[in-house]
Structure 1
Amino acid sequence: MNTLYTVLVLAVAALILYGLSYMQKKHMSFTKRVLAALAAGILFGAALQLIFGTGSEVITTSNTWINIIGSGYVRLLNMIVIPLVFVAITTSIVNQDASALKKSASSIIIVLILTTAISAGLGAGIAGIFGLDSSELIAGQAETARGEALESTLTEFQSKTIPEQITEIIPRNVFYAMTGQGSSATLSVVFFAAFLGIATIGIRKKKPESAEAFKNFLNMLHDIVMRMVTMVLRLTPFGVFALLSRFVSTSNYAEISRLFEFVVASYIAIILMFLVHLLILMLFKLSPVKFLKKASVPLSFAFSSRSSAGTLPLNVETQVEKLGVSTGIANLSASLGTSIGQNGCAGIYPAMLAVMIAVGTGVPMDLSFFVRLILITAISSFGIAGVGGGATFAALTVLSSMGLPVGLVGLLIAIEPLIDMARTALNVSGSMVAGLVTAKRLNELDMDTYNKDFSDSEEVSA
């Protein structure tokens, strides 16, 4: 009987996928297709939960097949991230002068770090208002095991100082870094690409023919990689549906309800930080409505995939084609934003945890506690750049620096995926805001493109 139900579930999923394909054939806008996939994934996953229940064999077997689309799409995105970062950074350097590059990179990093400090303050404040208390949570077997694993991870992580971790950004073997296997792989590729671009600029006077030939080669490579990006992005609606339906259908809502207060507090903090992003855009005389409309696709994908790096191609494409940011700044802000100053994972999350655990362990929280927390969180968001684990490593660094027990992070294992969805979307929004602010300050923002209403034919039908 389970086999029959599984076949029926897969048939319904196939019909939904056909519907998304039909929308594409009818040239419906990319944004509409992605949002339709988002809604379909949530409804389909919820229906499976309602009909078959958590842990059902039908759901497990069905997701095994549906996950081919979701995981396959994410793997395709991960496949092109390193090539994209490499050509994005090199071309952004060889196609502009060094002084402009220095200004844009500095501005992007400053905006990322400052917004992370603001997000940390918001996270700590919301945690205090909600009175989050880790002592009220009872650790189960899974949480205890997770806490022990985090204690072990922290020991390994602390064996290297922050200066040593930063030094590791310089790759010993650039080809190894390009495989994406190293802990600082992405930033190592950024470093090498920047080094290569600067070297190209350095030979312009002595060997202009070589510099020009290599520049043309890089631009040609950039065009080819971007075509690969476009080919992958065509699959975005299908990937979003598969990823979200799997998440919703397999979530343990009983565990989520146990930590419902933390989920609500997290989402309120994240929403408030989104509003801060919009306020920053308004201060630079940029329409927040235009931003939300045009950024909806990368933000939706970041939400469903929980991958800042995987969203990088969509991030760059949206900044350049829809928001009018210059190619060089868009590439820098999107690439740096995957590892530095993540507002959600490295700002709000560790700050909320620190307050919750401080309350539960009886640590006095005065003004100096909050000031120290915000400073440590902002600095750590840069210090752990490139280290795998995202929010977990940010939390480990902040909690250990504040003298708080890191094992209690394991208490949130049940809701980690749920809050990570919104955190990732906030990370991507922060990198886009950094790009927009920098482009506006340096007069490299095409306001006509930013203010233009894209019709269906002009959107990324990628």
Structure 2
Amino acid sequence: MTTSNKKLSLTLRIVIGMTAGIAVGFFFQMLLAGADERHLSLLGLSIPLKAFFVDGIFHVGGEIFIASLRMLVVPLVFVSLVCGTCSLSDTSKLGRLGGKSIGLYLITTAIAISFAIAAALLIGPGVGVDMQSDATYDVSSAPTLAQVFINIFPNNPIQSMASGNMLQIIVFAVLFGLAVALSGKTGERIAAMFSDFNEVIMKLVTLLMNLAPYGVFFLMAKLFTTLGFTTIASLLKYFLVVLTVLIIHGLVVYPVLLKALSGLNPIIFLKKMRDAALFGFSTSSSNATLPVTMETVNKKLGVNNSISSFTVPLGATINMDGTAIMQGVATVFIAQVFGVDLTLTDFLMVILTATLASIGTAGVPGVGLIMLAMVLQQVGLPVEGIALIIGVDRLLDMTRTAVNITGDAMVSCVVAKSEGELDIDIYNNPRAGEKDETIDFHHLKDQT
């Protein structure tokens, strides 16, 4: 039996790391309860538990893991998108890709918020809730529609890459890739170089994925040490409604759309999305999870790079299904808490505003809460109501991210199938991509 066969699968290792992290987090929360600081005596030294473990080891380990993933986002998106664009033999295909991708992302967002509003009205998470909060929430103003279109185009692509402005990076990469495709022999040499770059970056993604169980452990340990469960208990009904709708959207709505629009087997899709969904859950960031989503879509689902290099980064930027679900439930919840009756016109306005805002606020820090503030203002609800739900938003944000990246992958598969750019053999192969999950470091050492 080979060394690679003896190793646990990446999914199982991540689950073990996540479970261990949650258990350790609970342990430290109970250990530190009711005390400002506890100390551990070791080798004659008095070690402050919270400062050394929670704010030290757990925090540093988790932040290094997130930083390592984010480190790859800009080079991966730029290089992969240049490769995908310059490989298009038909430049008009790019317009079709954009139209299909944006259209599907907007449709799924509209479905998500409509479903969320319906569920919240049916269950009534804010009915009879008397919550008085002195907390306030100051939200940054969203850009105007005109400014959104202006901001899409970079005046300094290097600055766009440094700041991680994904829409501007996408635009520059597409234009650069088109220029490479139209540059004849020179373009062919540049394209070959970018293809090599892409292979190296994807190998770096594979290397970092081997560290995922440790990173997930640190993130979960830090989160569940500091997570306030008294807040969750006071908002339990709201929390459960949002969580239930998120799970149904991810495990029912997406598979139904995938089957209806492409004919692909949704069970295979969900199984192959496990690793990426776990990454998304632990990082709470679609952008940080983007390298893993990209590799999953390419190597496990069989989507050609010419499609995934465009649809996945675009989805990580504008696909806000999970956030839309939170907005729908939160809008109804806040209206019920403050005793405001919303009309059918108000609900239609909420759906329209949240759907369009998913693009309009892309790339803005705190995008989910900015979008929610826009929605609340649109129907005359107090923005201060956001302060009521912030306490449980962190845990829900983790689930929202897992849902969002699942939507990115689903749309990528649908668009690829419609363009004839999906390898059915890879999609149906349950072992596809698994051979690249682990790196034999001993073999690398023997070669040096």
- Please indicate, yes or no, whether the TM-score normalized by the shorter chain is above 0.5: yes
CA displacement at 1:234 relative to structure 2: 2.0
**Residue 61 (1) aligns with residue 52 (2):** yes
**Residue 88 (1) aligns with residue 68 (2):** no
Q: Distance in 1 between matches of 2:50 and 2:331?
A: 37
RMSD: 2.1
Q: Which moved more, 1:190-199 or 1:46-55?
A: 46-55
CA displacement at 1:247 relative to structure 2: 0.8
**Given residue 81 of structure 2, which amino acid in structure 1 is its aligned partner?**
I
**1:216-254 deviations in Å (ceiling 9; x for gaps):** 222122222223222222211111111111111211111
Q: Distance in 2 between matches of 1:454 and 1:36?
A: 21
**Residue 236 (1) aligns with residue 216 (2):** no
**Given residue 178 of structure 2, which amino acid in structure 1 is its aligned partner?**
I
What's the counterpart of residue 43 of structure 2? none
Secondary structure of the residue aligned to 1:133 is coil
**Given residue 14 of structure 2, which amino acid in structure 1 is its aligned partner?**
V
What's the counterpart of residue 202 of structure 2? 226
**Given residue 304 of structure 2, which amino acid in structure 1 is its aligned partner?**
S
Return closer, same or farther for 1:455/1:82 CA change in 2, 3 Å cut-off: closer
What's the counterpart of residue 249 of structure 1? 225
Secondary structure of the residue aligned to 1:178 is helix
Q: Distance in 1 between matches of 2:362 and 2:434?
A: 39
Gaps of 5+ in 1: 1-22
Among candidates 363, 372, 375, match of residue 349 of structure 2: 372
CA displacement at 1:378 relative to structure 2: 1.0
Q: Percent identity?
A: 28
What's the counterpart of residue 114 of structure 2? 121
**Given residue 355 of structure 1, which amino acid in structure 2 is its aligned partner?**
V
What's the counterpart of residue 402 of structure 2? 425
Would the aligned equivalents of 2:259 and 2:266 in 1 still touch at CA under 8 Å? yes
CA displacement at 1:42 relative to structure 2: 1.8
Return closer, same or farther for 1:414/1:457 CA change in 2, 3 Å cut-off: closer
Q: Distance in 2 between matches of 1:24 and 1:394?
A: 46
Q: Distance in 2 between matches of 1:134 and 1:385?
A: 33
CA displacement at 1:180 relative to structure 2: 1.9
Return closer, same or farther for 1:31/1:54 CA change in 2, 3 Å cut-off: farther
Among candidates 370, 388, 406, match of residue 383 of structure 2: 406
What's the counterpart of residue 196 of structure 1? 176
**Residue 303 (1) aligns with residue 281 (2):** yes
Return closer, same or farther for 1:251/1:446 CA change in 2, 3 Å cut-off: same
**Residue 162 (1) aligns with residue 145 (2):** yes
**Residue 267 (1) aligns with residue 243 (2):** yes
Q: Distance in 1 between matches of 2:221 and 2:4?
A: 20
Gaps of 5+ in 2: 38-48, 440-448
Return closer, same or farther for 1:186/1:135 CA change in 2, 3 Å cut-off: farther
Among candidates 124, 129, 144, match of residue 131 of structure 1: 124
Return closer, same or farther for 1:344/1:407 CA change in 2, 3 Å cut-off: same
Q: Distance in 1 between matches of 2:107 and 2:188?
A: 38
Would the aligned equivalents of 1:33 and 1:237 in 2 still touch at CA under 8 Å? yes
Return closer, same or farther for 1:124/1:177 CA change in 2, 3 Å cut-off: same
Secondary structure of the residue aligned to 1:136 is coil
Return closer, same or farther for 1:456/1:193 CA change in 2, 3 Å cut-off: closer
**Given residue 170 of structure 1, which amino acid in structure 2 is its aligned partner?**
F
CA displacement at 1:49 relative to structure 2: 2.4
Q: Distance in 2 between matches of 1:226 and 1:457?
A: 14
**Given residue 127 of structure 1, which amino acid in structure 2 is its aligned partner?**
A
Secondary structure of the residue aligned to 1:353 is helix
TM-score by structure 1 length?
0.86
